Chain A
Amino acid sequence: MSTEQTDQKPVFKTVSWHASRQNNKKRTWKGLKQIVSSERALPWPENVVHYSNINAPPSFKPAEKFSDLSGLPAPYTDPQSRLRYANKDEYATIIDLPMDITAGYLALRGATSIVG
């Protein structure tokens, strides 16, 4: 915290805390991923449930395919842009789309990996 805070310090904050904060200006906070992984590394008793234990299971149903443009059920995929489309009108639109838009649609669907 910069020095200007001294004047602004709300009355209800303790002096000792405030003083200690001024020394170490930058403190890095662990992100959730770090917290969870360090939590998992500890030798917990067996019955303990963690934050990381209650993640939803992966889906067992096959993912349906929807058109990237309209959201309608999409039986086709354009092999060049890899966008999904529902009918020929959409295809006509797709082939004219600029690269950044097609890339945006793919990124939105999370299909940017080359393998998938």
Chain B
Amino acid sequence: MEVLQFIDAKTVSDVIHEYNSKTKANSVPIIIDNGSYMSKVGWATCEAPLLQFKNLIAKPRRERSKKDTVEISQTPQLQVGNDIVNIEAVRFQLKTQFDRNVVTHFEAQEHLFDYTFTHLGINTENSVPHPIICTEAILNPNSSRQLMSELLFECYDVPSVCYGIDSLFGFHYYEQKLKSHPLKNTLIVNLGYQCCHVIPVIDNETIFENTRRLNTGGFHIITFLHRMLQLKYPAHATSITLSRAEELLIRLCKIAVDYREELNKWANADYYENHVKKIQLPFTAAVANSTVTLEQQKERKKELARRLTEINARKREERLAEDEEKIGQLLDIKEMIELGAEKETVEKTLAEFQIKNITELEKNILHLNTKIEKTKQKILAAANIEEVEEPPTKQTKYSKMAFESEKELHMFLQNIRKLRQEILTKKMIRKQRKQDMAKRRTAAGQERMRIISQLARKEKGNDDFGLRDEDWDIYKAISKDGGDSDSEAENEKLLEFDEILRVHEPSDNGESSNPGETHQLHIGVEMFRAPELLFKPYMLGSQEAGLSEVIAYVLSLFDEENQLKLASNVIVTGGLANLSGLKERLLTDLTSVRPFRSTVHVQIMKEPSLSSWYGARNFAESEEFQKKQITRKMYKEFGAEYFKTHLASNPFYPTPSASGGDIDV
């Protein structure tokens, strides 16, 4: 099985594009597909968007301890869009202008527009002299649009603005390409980062009242996958990052055509083994290092022991020489006395050696003799040991066990394993019992309470408790650790068994073969489970209906004729549309809710994440665009929330005045 690697793609900083004089002179419109995941920006004359960046800013927090005056030079830079090279490093400082799919935080939006216009190379003073086409959420609240217009007109002094809905732009782009079969009636399924939309279009008109929004999207899938893996691998929780979860979603995740069936397949161990995807987390080979030191430690220990024996031997030899010298001297004195030397000189020499009389001299000689004999023997023994064997270590104790046949070894190991398992089960039972005892509602807990209450109930008059020795056993039954706890001896035994098994079956230990294996993520069911969230939002605790259910619901809002028209033309767009298996899944789910043999057709838009930008660009080139812009003059005259509706836009409802129930139109 091949082990995959994380790519961990780093973002590349955008270049500042050249500001073409022709672009400047013709005041070419700027197309901004302002999505909650990414912003795609380019000139209306471009073939493809020039800039694509995540709609994020990383705003470093001010350090509170420092005073304002010192701070100015030290505040770290604000990072915007693709300037954020390592997104995980600034994860907690990230901000986006979006709240769900609606722009609400216009300070962040301003930073992102600064980034956008700077990187387009615009260098005109005090204005951005280009019309803007900007996408917005379906049924974007007026207040959000109002603030957007305010920002664009007041801050950038743009000549005109035009708003549209991303998925509708995308749809019209797609439709224009298929001119031979005009798609007047369509059910658009837009799978976004924050939300999914189901948008019915009948006779080229968007039916807003029957549109539905599912508040689950790519973001939720990514966080779901992220958390799921973190919980599965708590040891690697920090190295499982959101960016990596995102990478997994893009690279591995699939949508199951039949989720139940898929799960049943995965429940089989063989299927799991053959289809699981393993992905390597980065790791440092610390494990390999420690084994080297283990060897070294052994060597070092041996070396030390050798040196110690050497020192001892030398000491013994020295002592031997010393003793021999002394005995020589003593023997000389003895000889002197025997030869009949003068009493005075004898006493003098004896005093030199601190000996009182001749008997003591005799004693000393005898003592020294035995001492020399002993040391000699010791030296001999030490030399022998050095040759024969090194001091036995604990490990060799087990490995030394010799078995006559393979079978015998096998039997022995089996036995050990059995004993080990027995201890483990005992421990587990004890643990379980302890747990049960601690809880009141378990059977064991209730039994305990029953015994206790019975003990307490005994009438005072005829209390014969304790007359028999067995009476005291009751306390064993009600004590919380069930009478006996994990004994020290048992633990020791367990350790010993483990050691034996380790020595005789080192292959059981996977660690030694590949240290990276412990740093691998196994992606099995997860690759289907994460995207399944779109169809089962309840997996994340949401009460909403799943995508298929919402589609069925939207269809049910139409009469039969229109239902047929819509069902026979379902178009999927948005970043998640690229997930494999999505088309088949939607088709099966849709077929199951449609009448028997009615036409059902699902297609995935090509380049689903860029089609909105293309659509908006095409719109900028059409004549229609000229009529649908909101100029600066209109902005001043009709107010900030005013805008013109078109084929791909939201409907315009002027905000009624809050005072009174009067409806002014």
Contacts and interface: CB of A to CB of B under 8 A. Distances in A.
Interface of A: 2-4, 10-18, 27, 29-33, 35-36, 38-39, 41-45, 47-51, 53-61, 63-64, 66, 69-73, 80, 86, 95, 101, 104-105, 108-111
A86 to B, nearest CB: 7
Indicate the member of A12, A15, A31, A47 with the most B CB atoms within 10 Å: A12
Interface string B123-164: 111111000000001111111100000000011110000000
B139 A54 contact: yes
A54 B208 contact: yes
Contact of B102 (A13, A32, A48): A32
B208 A49 contact: yes
Nearest to A18: B155
B439 A80 contact: yes
Contact of B656 (A30, A45, A111): A45
A71 B212 contact: no
Given A51-B102, A54-B139, 12 more contacts: A13-B114, A42-B655, A43-B663, A44-B663, A51-B141, A54-B211, A54-B213, A59-B538, A71-B525, A72-B267, A109-B539, A109-B541
17 contacts: A18-B155, A30-B143, A32-B99, A35-B144, A39-B143, A43-B656, A49-B651, A50-B139, A51-B141, A54-B139, A55-B213, A56-B212, A56-B214, A59-B546, A72-B525, A104-B231, A110-B541
A71 B259 CA distance: 11
A51 B651 CA distance: 11
A13 B663 contact: no
Contact of A101 (B141, B157, B231, B525): B231
Contact of B72 (A4, A32, A41, A111): A4
Contact of A10 (B118, B213, B546): B118
A105 B231 contact: yes
Nearest to B230: A104
Nearest to B138: A54
Interface string B82-116: 00000000000000000110101111000000100
A51 B545 contact: no
Interface string B629-655: 000000000000000000000010101
Contact of B75 (A4, A55, A73, A109): A4
A116 to B, nearest CB: 9
Given A3-B72, A12-B128, A32-B99, A60 B139 contact: no
Contacts, number: 177
B141 A73 contact: no
B526 interface: yes
A13 B126 contact: yes
B277 interface: no
Contact of B540 (A61, A69, A73, A109): A109
B37 interface: no
B209 interface: yes
A2 B127 contact: no
Given A43-B656, A71-B525, A51 B140 contact: yes
B139 A49 contact: yes
Contact of A73 (B114, B260, B439): B260
A42 B656 contact: yes
B583 interface: no
A13 B152 CA distance: 10
Indicate the member of A31, A42, A51, A70 with the most B CB atoms within 10 Å: A51
Contacts of B347: none
Contacts of A17: 154-155
B494 interface: no
B506 to A, nearest CB: 26
A50 B140 CA distance: 8
Given A42-B658, A109-B541, A56 B215 contact: yes
Given A12-B117, A14-B126, A41 B658 contact: yes
B156 A35 contact: no
A111 B543 CA distance: 12
B213 to A, nearest CB: 5
B157 A71 contact: no
Contacts of A29: 104-107
Contacts of B102: 32, 35, 51
Indicate the member of B141, B543, B658 with the most A CB atoms within 10 Å: B141
Contact of B126 (A15, A72, A73, A80): A15
Contacts of B208: 49, 54
B224 interface: yes
A90 to B, nearest CB: 11
Contacts of A63: 536, 538
A36 B141 contact: yes
Given A59-B546, A71-B529, A12 B100 contact: no
A51 B656 CA distance: 16
Contacts of A27: 107
Contacts of B143: 30, 35, 38-39
Contacts of B544: 55-59
Given A72-B267, A104-B231, A51 B540 contact: no
Contact of B156 (A12, A51, A60): A12
Interface in B518-575: 524-526, 528-529, 536-546, 549-550, 553
A95 B525 CA distance: 22
A110 B542 contact: yes
B25 interface: no
A59 B260 contact: no
Closest 7 A-B residue pairs measured CB to CB?
Answer: A110-B541, A32-B99, A17-B155, A59-B545, A63-B538, A71-B529, A71-B525
A38 B141 CA distance: 10
B483 interface: no
B100 A32 contact: yes
A33 B528 CA distance: 32
A69 B60 CA distance: 37
A59 B231 CA distance: 27
Given A10-B117, A12-B124, A71 B263 contact: yes
Nearest to A34: B104
Contacts of B656: 42-45
B157 A14 contact: yes
Contacts of B104: 29-32, 35
B542 A48 contact: no
Contact of A13 (B137, B155, B526, B553): B155
Contacts of A51: 102, 137-141
A15 B661 CA distance: 41
A61 B155 CA distance: 50
B541 A104 contact: no
Contact of B543 (A2, A15, A41, A59): A59
Contacts of A49: 139, 208-209, 211, 651
